[in-house]
Amino acid sequence: MVMPTILADRYASLDYTESTNNHVFMKSCTNGYFEQNKYHQHVQVEEHNAAPLAKQLIGDALRERVESIDHENCEAGEEDTFFVADLGEVYRQHLRWKLNLPRVKPFYAVKCNPDPKLLQLLSALGTGFDCASKAEIEQVLNMGVDPSRIIYAQPCKTKSYLRYVANQGVRQMTFDNADELRKIARLYPGAELYLRILTDDTSSLCRLSMKFGASLDSTDSLLALARELGLNVVGVSFHVGSGASDPRAFLKAVQDAHVVFQQAASYGYSLHTLDVGGGFCSDETFEQMAGVLRLALDEYFPAHSGINLIAEPGRFYASAAFTLACNIIARRTIQDSELINNGTMTPDTSYMVYVNDGLYGNFSSIMFDHQHPVAKVLRANGQTLYDTAAAEANTDGDGVEYSIWGPTCDGIDRITESIRFPVVLDVGDWLYFEDMGAYTKCSATTFNGFSNEHDVIYVCSEPGARALLGL
């Protein structure tokens, strides 16, 4: 049986009088938890009903927050955008990973979303961490994670950062060029090195091969130099690009990695690890991608070979776990003047709505990650519409047309060019966006003086995750 849990990152009212027998916890300033309420109605939910339970918990958290705000009298910032994060979704994604890629240990890409609760759960699940900077490494180490569970997956490292990781005992790191090898030889000769190879990432959302990766015609000379410098090469890594869509990219990369393993053996190296990088999406394409990768690994790096397999998933874990709520702060009415002047028909009224988040904030994923967030109506006309038909956009051309804009003075700060809803939205209403956990708040800015620090309300729809977090 499941007893849902809700976590919140600051003191706030979360009195779900219409909800189930959930336990509500609030995070204290000392990072502890205290029980606030028990609900009187007992509803038993089987574990396999995770999806409806998750929707219920997310919806309850969204509703309680937005319904508690008095837009006429609230303090400045009380109506700011906020997240609801279901840690149970992260837990389910981990089970999905283990089911489809049982031989591959995930090293979560911290850059995707460094949310502390997300990292705490992943640490408890036993994942490793892919870090690309001193700050990311420091954050993970401060959680008590052993340095052996971190890979410094940045082929071009700052000298002072190299000295830092040497002092901290973070040994695993990547390289892809001769200058980097010489730098490592001077500053951290005891490092455990992974040769990052070039891949075909033309099908990915964010291509990385233009910046990183050694071509196969240069890997032999790099291995020779590493041997000459007395460095310890222990593995090969690749990355088919963030948000990859062509499974064949994994197959070709595994084949190329196998070639490099053979090259390394000719120089006396006994490589023991293959890092297959990231590129895994959380949607229905994951099973297909994982299936191709799994078969390729079984052929070129079978279990009996003794090769360790790791990966660097990011969006796979984080994307679907976070829902973002935005408040409509202004509205502009647009009428088709041509129709009015013509007098042949009733003018079609549309609206420009301005919300308190945008491309310079948590919607940075539109520019940097090529995402297309879809707005849904959270609250309008005094009613909360989360997860109802009225919340969804019309796709048949009916309804009221809107464009959705961010709060800054920059004209490019547009979230949605055109969308139709069955309701008329006004100032004070709320929209929500699902799948907002990947490359959103991590790349938000403070442009125009708008905050990039927004509340996260945590809910947990999986008892396993609750147990790992000690709730």
Catalytic residues: 409
Q: Are 333 and 349 in contact (CB under 8 A)?
A: yes
Identify the band that residue 469 occupies on the pLDDT scale cut at 50, 70 and 90.
very high
Place of tokens 């956009």: 393
Greater pLDDT, 281 or 159: 159
* Residue 25 to residue 4: CA distance in whole angstroms: 11
Q: Which of 277, 293, 318 is a domain's end point?
A: 318
* Residue 181 to residue 33: CA distance in whole angstroms: 47
Mean pLDDT (whole number) for 264-276: 97
Residues 206 and 268 grouped into a single domain? yes
Q: Which of 256, 288, 318 is a domain's end point?
A: 318
* Residue 218 to residue 229: CA distance in whole angstroms: 17
- Residue 211 has a pLDDT of 61
Give the highest mean pLDDT range of 27-36, 245-254, 288-297, 366-375. 288-297
The encoded tokens of residue 173 equal 């790191």
Q: What is the residue-averaged pLDDT of the chain?
A: 85
Question: In 284-353, which residue ranges form alpha helices assigned H by DSSP?
Answer: 285-300, 315-318, 337-342
Record the pTM: 0.85
Residues 306 and 323 grouped into a single domain? no
CB hemisphere CA count around 51 (13 angstroms)? 1
Q: Tens of pLDDT along 73-129?
A: 888 878 899 999 999 999 999 999 999 999 999 999 999 999 999 999 999 999 999
Residues 151 and 242 grouped into a single domain? yes
Residues 221 and 97 grouped into a single domain? yes
Place of tokens 């999986």: 462
Q: SS3 helix, strand, coil % of the chain, rounded to 5?
A: 35, 25, 40
- Segments forming the whole domain that contains residue 445: 5-86+319-468
Residues 457 and 330 grouped into a single domain? yes
What is the signed CA dihedral for 267, 272, 276, 278, rounded to 10 degrees?
Answer: -120
Q: Which of the residue ranges 26-30, 124-128, 182-186, 284-288 would you say has the lowest mean pLDDT?
A: 26-30
Identify the band that residue 470 occupies on the pLDDT scale cut at 50, 70 and 90.
confident
Residues 141 and 70 grouped into a single domain? no
- Residue 61 has a pLDDT of 97
- Residue 99 has a pLDDT of 97
Side chain identity, residue 34: F
As a whole number of Å, the CA-based R_g of the chain is 25
The encoded tokens of residue 70 equal 């008095």
Residues 302 and 368 grouped into a single domain? no
Residues 44 and 107 grouped into a single domain? no
Which domain CATH number covers 101?
3.20.20.10
Q: Which of the residue ranges 5-14, 223-232, 408-417 would you say has the lowest mean pLDDT?
A: 5-14
Q: Which of 301, 318, 335 is a domain's end point?
A: 318
DSSP output for 91-103: HHHHHHHHHH-TT
Report percent pLDDT > 70 for the chain.
Answer: 84
The encoded tokens of residue 440 equal 């959103």
Strand-pairing partners, residue 193, are 173, 233
Side chain identity, residue 49: N
Residue 168 has φ and ψ, to the nearest 5°, of -90, -10
The encoded tokens of residue 435 equal 């799948």
Place of tokens 């027998």: 21
416-440: string of b/e by CB count within 10 Å (b at 16+)? beebebbeebeebbbbbbbbbbbbb
Q: Are 201 and 241 in contact (CB under 8 A)?
A: yes
Residue 104 has φ and ψ, to the nearest 5°, of -105, 120
Q: Are 405 and 352 in contact (CB under 8 A)?
A: yes
Greater pLDDT, 36 or 285: 285
Residues 74 and 171 grouped into a single domain? no
Report percent pLDDT > 90 for the chain.
Answer: 66
Residues 264 and 328 grouped into a single domain? no
Q: Tens of pLDDT along 91-100?
A: 999 999 999 9
Residues 48 and 97 grouped into a single domain? no
Q: Tens of pLDDT along 16-70?
A: 223 323 333 333 323 332 222 332 233 233 334 578 899 999 999 999 999 999 8
Residues 187 and 95 grouped into a single domain? yes
Which residues are CB-neighbours of 18 under 8 A, at least 6 positions away? none
Count the domains in the chain. Answer: 2
Identify the band that residue 336 occupies on the pLDDT scale cut at 50, 70 and 90.
low
| CB neighbour class for 236 (10 Å; exposed up to 12, middle 13-18, buried from 19) | buried
Which domain CATH number covers 328?
2.40.37.10
* Residue 54 to residue 49: CA distance in whole angstroms: 9
- Residue 326 has a pLDDT of 97
Mean pLDDT (whole number) for 142-168: 97
* Residue 371 to residue 348: CA distance in whole angstroms: 30
